Amino acid sequence: IEIYPILGVGTAPFRGNFRPDNWREMVRNYPSVQTLTVQSAFKFDFPEGQVREALVDLKETGRGGAMYIDEQKSRQIIEKSSKEYSDQIGLIAPLVNSIADHIPARRKRKLHIGLFGYSRSVDEVQLPRAITFCSALYSIGLPPEMLGLSCLSERELEFFRDADTAFDDDLRDAMQYFNPAVKRLLPAELTGKLREDLVEFSPNERHIDLTGRTIDAFVHGKREEVRSLVVESAWIRRFLG
């Protein structure tokens, strides 16, 4: 029986990094996927000509065979990093929910109950849905891609890079939005675990300025200013979250 896999992705690095200017990397990394979801940021936040050209070329690209991967080793790394990621999210869940109140609503949807839907994980932690969750973190200069990596050894990271050929590029795309000033909002237990040294990256200075102002406005309870700055920084990233 022929199988035609579909991969749900977005333009944010955390959600796949699938963009009109980056689709070839996605195809190389997931050669056996038949369908890639094209979300609104892909269609509306890039030049129309670039979007149309990317879609035409993408449709003409044939599907290849699946890449080999050591399943046992992969599962070990997934379980290890997932535990660390969940623990770190538990530390900043109140902050995420506070920032999420300032994120412009896109559509009415129920919140996930429990950490990633599993209420046993961290004392019934409640988090917003994916787009709002990502937006809350990007908007204060903390790319969610940074979370959960501190537990991995150099050998495990090497395995990860072999399995995910776009790992460094995706992380580099995310790290440009990192603002060290966000550490003032984070518990000390987390700040020491943020890996800033995994890839070389060029900070997006305009985004750093906006997220720095967002942090200040949030600390001083300037709700409307936070909301305005969230939108402004989203325009720079070309995605909300």
Last residue of a domain, one of 32, 60, 88: 60
Whose tokens are 């060029």? That residue is 202
| Number of structural domains the chain divides into | 2
Task: Check residue 54 and give its pLDDT.
Answer: 96
Q: Let me know: does 211 contact 177? Beta carbons within 8 Å.
A: yes
Query: Mean pLDDT, the chain, as a whole number?
Result: 90
| 184 plus 94 within the same structural domain | yes
- 26 domain residue, yes or no: yes
Whose tokens are 């056996």? That residue is 32
Task: Kindly state the average pLDDT of the residues 205-209.
Answer: 98
Task: Kindly state the average pLDDT of the residues 196-219.
Answer: 97
Task: Check residue 123 and give its pLDDT.
Answer: 45
**Per-residue pLDDT tens over the stretch 112-158:** 444 444 333 444 678 888 889 999 999 999 999 999 999 999 999 99
- Burial label for 168, CB within 10 Å (0-12, 13-18, 19+), is middle
- Helix, strand, coil % in the chain, rounded to nearest 5: 55, 5, 40
Task: Kindly state the average pLDDT of the residues 165-185.
Answer: 96
Beta strands 126-127 and 35-36: pairing type? unpaired
**What 3-state DSSP class applies to 112?**
strand
| 174 plus 193 within the same structural domain | yes
Whose tokens are 């406005």? That residue is 217
Quote the CA–CA distance of 12 and 97 in Å, as a whole number: 20
What confidence category does residue 14 fall into, taking pLDDT thresholds of 50, 70 and 90? confident
